[in-house]
Structure 1
Amino acid sequence: MPSPTGSVVALSSASATTFSIGIVYLGYWGIHEPAPWKFTDALVVLCALGGFACLGLVPWMATRPVESESNDAGVRVARRLFLAGVCAIWFSVSLSVLMSA
């Protein structure tokens, strides 16, 4: 079953938007502060980097060549990568908020 028209564009723009919001938050959170890092700080950054990697791969996976026009295997993988990236970014943001409270 083919994906709806515009789903590749929607996935790509949603991943780019989430990527940019995550980068802004990570910069606001204080990745550049001179204080020594704790284990939770490293965990926040590693989760965020994993999420950024997933979100960065979304457009590449959604637009990869497939056997036939009706095959949407690339879009299905891109949707899973998008979900994994968003979950990783939200986990890192939640962890950073909880450890600062």
Structure 2
Amino acid sequence: MPSPTGSVVALSSASATAFSFGIVYLGYWGVHEPVPWRFMDILVVLFALGGFACLGLVPFMATRPVESESNDAGIRVARRLFLGGVSAIWLAVTLSVVR
């Protein structure tokens, strides 16, 4: 079953928006502070970087070539990357708030 019209554009813009929100929060959180990092700080940064990697790959996976026009394998992979990226960013934000 083909994806709805506009799903590539919507998924790509949603991933760019989530990416920018994550970058803004990470800058606000204080990656640049001179205080020595603890284990929880490293976990926050690792989850955030993993989420940024997933969100950055969404447009590439959504627009990759497929065998036929009705094949939506690229969109399915992009949706999973989007879900994983947003989940990782939210986990990083939650860990930074809880600590």
| Both proteins in one fold, TM over 0.5 | yes
Matches within 5 A, 1:1-101: 1-99=1-99
CA–CA separation in structure 1 for the residues paired with 2:97 and 2:9:
32
Residue segments in structure 2 that go unaligned for 5+ positions in a row = none
Give the Cα separation in 2 of the matches to 1:22 and 1:89. Answer: 6
The runs of at least 4 consecutive aligned structure 1 residues that moved more than 4 Å come to none
Whole-angstrom CA distance in 2 between matches of 1:89 and 1:96: 11
The TM-score with structure 2 as length reference comes to 1.00
Deviations 1:45-70 (CA, angstroms, capped at 9, x unpaired): 00000000000000000000000000
Match of 1:90, SS state, is: helix
Q: RMSD across aligned C-alpha pairs, in angstroms? A: 0.2
CA positional deviation for 1:84: 0.1
CA drift at 1:40: 0.2
State percent identity of aligned pairs: 83
**What one-letter code is carried by the residue in structure 2 that aligns with 1:35?**
V
TM-score of the pair, normalised by structure 1: 0.98
| Alpha-carbon distance in 1 for matches of 2:34, 2:43 | 17
The number of aligned residues is 99
